[in-house]
A and B are shown apart, each in its own frame.
Chain A
Amino acid sequence: AQRVTQPEKLLSVFKGAPVELKCNYSYSGSPELFWYVQYSRQRLQLLLRHISRESIKGFTADLNKGETSFHLKKPFAQEEDSAMYYCAPLDSGGSNYKLTFGKGTLLTVNP
């Protein structure tokens, strides 16, 4: 069965500290992986995807196929990064492209 694990339900750091949100996946084939973010009272929105290898809002995520991980990192957290973060592999079987979400990690960045 396809599965994604975000082991930390809550993560609290101070402003300026590095942050790493962990994600491990168990998937057949080579899924496309995403991080979605939900700021307070806002909708789920795409933060970044592994194929673009880009940095968004200072966040990066490297796909490690050997460890089946896709951890999200930022070297210096900001208060506005406080949000719920979801790791989500994309199941591209057929053309449905449905997402399988992890349970999410609530990141709190303290001043």
Chain B
Amino acid sequence: EPEVTQTPSHQVTQMGQEVILRCVPISNHLYFYWYRQILGQKVEFLVSFYNNEISEKSEIFDDQFSVERPDGSNFTLKIRSTKLEDSAMYFCASRVTGGTEAFFGQGTRLTVV
């Protein structure tokens, strides 16, 4: 069964450094999402992406964040200058056109030290 895959599973980075979290959505899906979950808190929507552009973003998704689909398979989330409060589990999800179910990756745990 096709799955959304995320790499790495765990990333440790120093405050101020740039990080790129990678996702490979399911191949025939055209809608992509990033969510995050700070430890002990709820899963929060960050951004949705369709047709090579952001379709919606939350207040969390400020200028430090960017997303990109650099090729036909990858979908990346970049945090330009990480802060301690960016430490969280980041989930990528994708959805097929016309469907409402989001398929999630296993997550990347980002630890900013």
A10: chain B residues within 8 A (beta carbon): none
Per-residue interface assignment for chain B, residues 44 to 85, with 1 indicating a CB less than 8 Å from any chain A CB and 0 otherwise: 110010100001100000000000000000000000000000
Question: Considering only CB atoms, which chain A residue lies closest to B54 in the complex?
Answer: A96
Question: Considering only CB atoms, which chain A residue lies closest to B95 in the complex?
Answer: A97
- Tell me which residues from 96 to 111 in chain A have a Cβ below 8 Å from any Cβ of chain B: 96-104
Whole-angstrom CA separation of A9 from B30 in the bound complex: 34
When the two chains form their complex, are residues A43 and B104 in contact, meaning their CB atoms are under 8 A apart?
yes
Given A43-B107, A98-B33, decide whether A92 and B44 contact each other with a Cβ distance below 8 A: no
Given A44-B91, A94-B55, A104-B42, decide whether A99 and B102 contact each other with a Cβ distance below 8 A: yes
When the two chains form their complex, are residues B100 and A43 in contact, meaning their CB atoms are under 8 A apart?
no
**Contact among B42, B100, B107 for A32, CB-based, below 8 A:** B100
Interface centre among B41, B102, B106 (most CB of A within 10 A): B102
Interface size on B, residues (CB 8 A): 23
Per-residue interface assignment for chain B, residues 1 to 28, with 1 indicating a CB less than 8 Å from any chain A CB and 0 otherwise: 0011000000000000000000000000
Whole-angstrom CA separation of A95 from B51 in the bound complex: 12
Task: Tell me the smallest distance from the CB of B57 to a CB of chain A, in Å.
Answer: 10
A83 at the interface (CB under 8 A from B): no
When the two chains form their complex, are residues A94 and B44 in contact, meaning their CB atoms are under 8 A apart?
no
A102: chain B residues within 8 A (beta carbon): 42
Whole-angstrom CA separation of A101 from B38 in the bound complex: 13
Ranked 3 nearest A-B pairs via Cβ: A101-B43, A44-B104, A103-B42
Could you list which residues of chain B lie within 8 angstroms of chain A, going by C-beta atoms? Answer: 3-4, 31, 33, 35, 41-45, 48, 50, 55-56, 91, 95, 100-102, 104-107
